Amino acid sequence: MFNQHKTESSQQLSSTQPMMSEEESLTTKFNKYNDLIFSSKLPIPRLKWSRGKTRLGQMACKRKRSWGRTTFYDYTISVSRYYNLTEEQIDDVLIHEMIHYFIAYTGQRDSSAHGTLFRSMMNDINQRFGRNITISVRTRSIEPRVTETPKTYLVLALEMRNGKHYFSSVNPNAVRKITLMLSRLSEINTYRWYQTQDEFFRNMPRVRTLRGRPVTKTVYEEMINKMTPIL
Ligand SMILES: [Zn+2]
């Protein structure tokens, strides 16, 4: 997964020096902490960046039972790129998952998912390496990396002869067709096209035919004042 924006805007990149992919950088981080903290005991698992919103990191593996023993294999560690974390925070998330991996890989048993063993390893690592690894991170207080760009809606505002008002969010490809339909309807008093990014239209379907949502005169006038008319 390449960060397209970075690639386009950065002047430092030259064609002879390709940008390091995020996967590579996660591997580099893994190797670094494997050597530093886990005495290089861990084989490289599958490493992935994720878009997780509720979990910053995850360690997954498959399990099989044979001869009454459960063994784990096929390990995957993923770290979320959704939030705007600092390098240090990302590394803490990765090390947190590496503790899970270490416990599973060495076949140790913990009292729970973040039990006595996990906590003692975590506290030890925090102390020895000056890290801030935690059991869980409150994701609510962290900003997403990419803020969702607001959508632009093409809105048809209709005032009928019977005094009713309608709004309809129109699929831009259907404008010509709908304009033609409008010209044939005698029930219409006035209509006008607007452009807006108002949340009001977020859950309204983008129609391709002449359909709309009835609104009160007050809402109609309020919205019209907020939107940008298109000629
Ligand atoms: Zn955990």
What is the 149 CA–ligand 1 centroid distance (Å)? 32
Structure confidence at residue 4 (pLDDT): 34
- Average pLDDT over the chain reads 84
Distance, CA of 78 to CA of 94 (rounded, Å) = 8
What is the 141 CA–ligand 1 centroid distance (Å)? 19
Q: Phi, psi at residue 11, to the nearest 5°?
A: -90, -15
What is the 106 CA–ligand 1 centroid distance (Å)? 17
What is the 114 CA–ligand 1 centroid distance (Å)? 6
What is the 99 CA–ligand 1 centroid distance (Å)? 8
How far does Cα 179 stand from its chain's mean position? 38
What is the 171 CA–ligand 1 centroid distance (Å)? 45
pLDDT band (50, 70, 90) for residue 148: low
pLDDT 10s digits, 201-221: 887 888 998 888 999 999 999
Structure confidence at residue 72 (pLDDT): 86
CA atoms within 13 A on the CB side of 199: 1
Structure confidence at residue 66 (pLDDT): 82
Pull the structure tokens for residue 99.
């503790």
Its pTM surpasses 0.85: no
Q: Which sign, positive or negative, has the C-alpha torsion 133, 136, 138, 144?
A: positive
What is the 102 CA–ligand 1 centroid distance (Å)? 12
What is the 3 CA–ligand 1 centroid distance (Å)? 27
Section 104-130 average pLDDT: 95
CATH topology of domain 19-141: Zincin-like (3.30.2010)
In this predicted structure, the answer to whether residue 146 has a pLDDT above a threshold of 70 is no
Section 63-83 average pLDDT: 88
What is the 2 CA–ligand 1 centroid distance (Å)? 27
What is the 118 CA–ligand 1 centroid distance (Å)? 9
Section 92-118 average pLDDT: 94
Section 97-111 average pLDDT: 94
pLDDT 10s digits, 16-32: 334 455 656 899 999 99
What is the 93 CA–ligand 1 centroid distance (Å)? 9
Domain ranges in the chain with CATH number 3.30.2010.10: 19-141
CA distances from 193 to 8, 32, 134, 163, 189 (A): 36, 58, 53, 19, 14
Please state at what angle helix 87-105 crosses helix 116-129, rounded to 10 degrees: 140
What is the 97 CA–ligand 1 centroid distance (Å)? 6
CA neighbor of 84 nearest in space, from 21, 35, 137: 137
What is the 13 CA–ligand 1 centroid distance (Å)? 36
